Each structure stands twice: as C-alpha cells, then as structure tokens.
Structure 1
Amino acid sequence: MSENITLNNGVEIPALGFGVFQTPPEQTTSSVAEALRVGYRLIDTAAAYGNEREVGEGIRTSGLDRSEVFIETKLWISDYGYDAALHGFDKSAGKLDVDQIDLLLLHQPLTSDFDKTIGAYKALEKLLADGKVRAIGVSNFMPDVLERLLAETDVVPAVNQVEVHPYFSQPNVQQADREHGILTQAWSPMGGITSYYGDFSRSTFNDSVIGEIAEQHGRTPAQVMLRWHLQQGRSAIPKSVKPERIAANFDVFGFELTTDELARIDALDTGVRSGPDPDSITVESFGRNIPEA
C-alpha cells in the first residue's frame, strides 16, 4: 500500500497518487479502476480535465469503500469568486457522485483578478468549515502569490500542487511551502511535460544520469524519479493509461536512493518551466465553461 503523509491539518494523504490529466473520458473509468486495483488510493482530477464523472465511475467500479479512496480535484478559474466557487464544488461533487471531497484546490492563481482568487479561496475555507471538504489547497502558486493569499485568508493551504521534476524542481517554491507547513505535490513528476511538444532530445526518460541510477537499482527511470520525490517528502501524481505502467509507477516502495543519487538528480534542474507561466493565466485566454453536474 502507499505510504501516507500527514497534512498540516492532521488529515492523511497517500504520498503517491494517480493522475488523469489529458486522459480521455472514455479511458478514465478503466484507468482509475486499474490504478485502484494495483494499490493507488489517491486519485487526482480537476474540473478543467472534463473527466470527473468518469473518475467517480472508476472509483465505484473498483468496489472499494468510499472511505478507502482519497479524492482530490481542482476548481477552474472560470468558477472563481466566492459564490461561483461554492457552486463549483457542487458541480465537482455532483460529477464525482460524492458528498465530501478529500482535497479541493484552486487550480491556478488568477493574478489578473486576485480578488476573485481570494473569494474562491474563502469559499474553500467555508466548505472546509462545513465538512464538505477535508482539506484545501492551491496549485501553481509561486511564493510571492502565496504570500498575498496568506495575508488575506485564514487557513494555510494544506497542499501546493506545482510542476516538479528533475529538469524543473522549483526549489524556491518548495522552500516557501516548507516554511508554511504546506505539502509540495508534483504534477508531471517524471517530466513527461518536457516531451509533450515533441522535444524528445531533452526528455528526462532519456537522461543518462537517471538511466545510470535506474540501472544500478534494477529499476526504470520512471521509478527512480518517483522515488526521488517520495524520499524528499513530496507527494507525486504520475499518470498513465497503460496497465503495465500504472503498475510499475506504483512499485516504488521497495528500494532506496542514496543521498548522493538524490543530489545527482537535484543537479539536473535546468530552471526552465515546461508548463504555462502561472502569471499568464487569465480568464480571457484560459477561461472555459465548466458544465453542470
């Protein structure tokens, strides 16, 4: 079973989760059910992924009790502002077919209209107080924006989900999170995003350092990268639709990287972001209607 991490409000979250970013709805149900079959207990989705309904179906298909699965989802910027965010929860909970969501995040900071970001986060605080969510957090919040949020709200986020992989490890973000007792959770934890645009020449999967460490342990590069996250205290959300990879990505609890190996992977950081700059996210360019449940 997955190791757990205790969040700053005492709630336990599995360290290793299963993600469904860019997984087509028609593949999501079977992928989630397979992930739960091999041992994952954290499923990460988002309103903007368009597959929350299928995530809910996958969980029900698994036959596991609701209490055994940690469900994490995110509100999209189109549903920011206090009242809109409360309704955004209703939409997500309705699609997932649950009464309570374990972890609800703001998907992006809307720095161009930060009042709406604050309103949305205050809605998350209300949902937390009402027991409709067990923990709240943010995603893609850089240290300066995180400080702005903390100055205007009451509950410190439990999680900040950001792009973290060997080629872009964001040490300044991780440090800011640590200082506030916030868990850093890695999306694209193996650097798959570096290959999305066809630039396989700089893929982490082909990196010679990671490959050498993997060979020494009789493991895959993917397993080494996930182990790197877990040993450094992060949560990681790998994704795949292939059953063999879903299983392999979960099989990361039976070996240890040395301090030297961790440092060698740390040294691969290029400082180059592959995802969008969080400050570039605006309703005009990234807004989309999130359908009703």
Structure 2
Amino acid sequence: MSSKVPPIILNNGVEMPQLGFGVWQVPDGEAEQAVATALEAGYRSIDTAAIYGNEEGTGRAIAGSGVPREELFVTTKLWNSDQGYDATLRAFDVSLEKLGLEYLDLYLIHWPTPARDLYVDSYKAFEKLYADGRVRAVGVSNFLTEHLERLIAETSVVPAVDQIELHPHLQQNAAREFLAGQGIATEAWSPLGQGKGLLEVPAIVAIARKHDRTPAQVVLRWHVQLGNVVIPKSVTPSRIRENIEVFDFSLDTEDLAAISALDEDRRLGSHPAHFNGG
C-alpha cells in the first residue's frame, strides 16, 4: 500500500513524512508486529531509539515488509550513556546493525544531559556520519533553546529536527517559534499525551463529534495543521490504522482556538534542563 502522508522538507532538502509511527515502550517482541501493521497501513516513517530496546524487532519488520528501502524514513536515537565523539560512532554502528540497515534517514541525540556536557562532541560525530553519507539528516531530541544556540554556535550543520514533548497541554509555542526561525523542524513526541486524559477533555471530544472523528484524530490533525511532524504510538491494529487517517479533513478556526486554550505548560516527561539519567 502506498503512503497517504505528505512530506515536509527538512533544512537540507531531505523529505520526511509529516506523520510517522513511534515505538516507545513497545517491547522488542511486539515491535515487529506493530511496525509491520503500520507499514501495511501506509506509514513510511518509523521512529525508534537505542534505549527502547526494540531496534531489532523494528528492523525485522522493515526487512519483511517488502517496502523498498528508499521509500522508508527510519529514525533512531543516541542514548545518554553513549555520548562523546568516539562512543557516538560506536553506538551508531550498533544501532545500524540491530536495525539491519545500510544507512539511517535521521539520527537524533536523545537528550542534551547538560551535566555530562558531551552533546557538542556527540554532535560533531553526527556531522562526520552525515558527511560520510551514513545518515541523511541529523538532529536532536529534547533540546531547549539554550542547548541549540550553543550547538549551532560550535558546529557547522544546523540540526534538521528537534523532537520535543508537545501536545495540547504542552504546546511549546516559544520553542516552536525559535525552531522555525532556525529552519529546524519541530517533531512532537507523546503527541496524544499519555493514557486517556487528553482524549477525554470535553473540548476535544466535542470537536471530534462535530467532525465525526475520534479525539485522537482531532489532536493529530491539530499537530498537522500547526506544521509539526508527529509520531503517534499504538500496538492496537485498529488504532494504528485510524491514526494515519487525518489528511482528509480540516479543523476550522474555532476548533484551533478551542485547542489552543488547553495549554497548561504541563510536562508528562522529564525537564531537559535537569534530566541527566542513563
């Protein structure tokens, strides 16, 4: 099945599907089936990470899918304990081998972990991998403006993507504005929040009813209309298929205003200024 997801153009000209499939918290044994279902449903972008422990299952699904490699966009991430120039190059090789791939489409530094003070060295290793053609684009995850300003000042390749926690309860307007000004794509993790909380908010339920859609589809459509790259995660086949069906309807100004009013600046995950674990 071909993909129905439009691409965004990254700052180096590479095309990245605006909606992809995330496998955070999916055990390796389940990842193969979940990714296979996603590829069958038309997803072409898959987002994993070394720390998720499911690169091998993800790789098996890719290998068995029959989808030509050039049609896929595969992202993984460098874990905190592997930061540093040489360690980064080694970790990249391990991830690539587990995924069973010849190259990556996007490699991200998972967290800045400022107490380690190794993210600039790690990113310089990313620049080498990029120059060598082993990865088509490089970027970061969970980086705040202060981390990005330093990175841009001390390296020569502006990150293509910053993957940050972003959902209607944490809309990250200032961060998104900064990223747009630098030509860096905003990618949302936990785009639907966690658990059912966000999907039971009356305003979102009402908008879903109005458009004859699910609350999850409404939130994903909100991301798409903001210009975010978005990577919803599910292991339920019906939800996997449902989450990609967001390109055939639009939210109106009233809908967007109602969702905008839900911002509480409330994080579900760790704060990047203080998180140094792993």
TM-score band w.r.t. shorter chain: over 0.9
After superposition, give the CA deviation of every residue in 1:14-50 in whole Å (9 maximum; x if it has no partner): 0000000000111000000000000000000000100
2:257, 2:11 → 1: CA distance? Answer: 27
- In the TM superposition, what is the alpha-carbon distance from 1:280 to its structure 2 partner? 2.3
After superposition, give the CA deviation of every residue in 1:168-189 in whole Å (9 maximum; x if it has no partner): 1111111111110000000000
- In the TM superposition, what is the alpha-carbon distance from 1:60 to its structure 2 partner? 1.2
Query: Is 1:12 aligned with 2:6?
Result: no
Contact 1:42 1:69 in 2 (8 A): yes
Contact 2:56 2:98 in 1 (8 A): yes
1:255, 1:176 → 2: CA distance? Answer: 29
Give the letter aligned to residue 214 of structure 1: A
Contact 2:47 2:76 in 1 (8 A): yes
Give the letter aligned to residue 189 of structure 1: P
Contact 2:144 2:273 in 1 (8 A): no
1:226, 1:154 → 2: CA distance? Answer: 33
**Residue aligning to 1:179:** 181
- In the TM superposition, what is the alpha-carbon distance from 1:279 to its structure 2 partner? 2.1
Query: Is 1:93 aligned with 2:93?
Result: no
Contact 2:84 2:122 in 1 (8 A): yes
SS in 1 for 2:46: strand
2:185, 2:241 → 1: CA distance? Answer: 25
The counterpart of 2:249, out of the listed 255, 259, 277, is 255
2:174, 2:88 → 1: CA distance? Answer: 29
How many pairs are equivalent?
A: 275
**Residue aligning to 2:149:** 147
**Residue aligning to 1:170:** 172
- In the TM superposition, what is the alpha-carbon distance from 1:125 to its structure 2 partner? 0.6
2:79, 2:275 → 1: CA distance? Answer: 11
**Residue aligning to 1:290:** none
Give the letter aligned to residue 28 of structure 1: A
**Residue aligning to 1:246:** 240
After superposition, give the CA deviation of every residue in 1:194-222 in whole Å (9 maximum; x if it has no partner): x3xxxx6xx11110001111100000000
- Structure 2: gaps (5+ residues): none
Contact 1:45 1:72 in 2 (8 A): yes
Give the letter aligned to residue 187 of structure 1: W
Which aligned segments of 4 or more residues in structure 1 are displaced greater than 6 angstroms?
Answer: none
Between 169-178 and 98-107, report the one with greater CA deviation. Answer: 169-178
Contact 1:166 1:269 in 2 (8 A): yes
1:54, 1:280 → 2: CA distance? Answer: 31
1:273, 1:171 → 2: CA distance? Answer: 14
1:263, 1:89 → 2: CA distance? Answer: 42
- Structure 1: gaps (5+ residues): 288-293
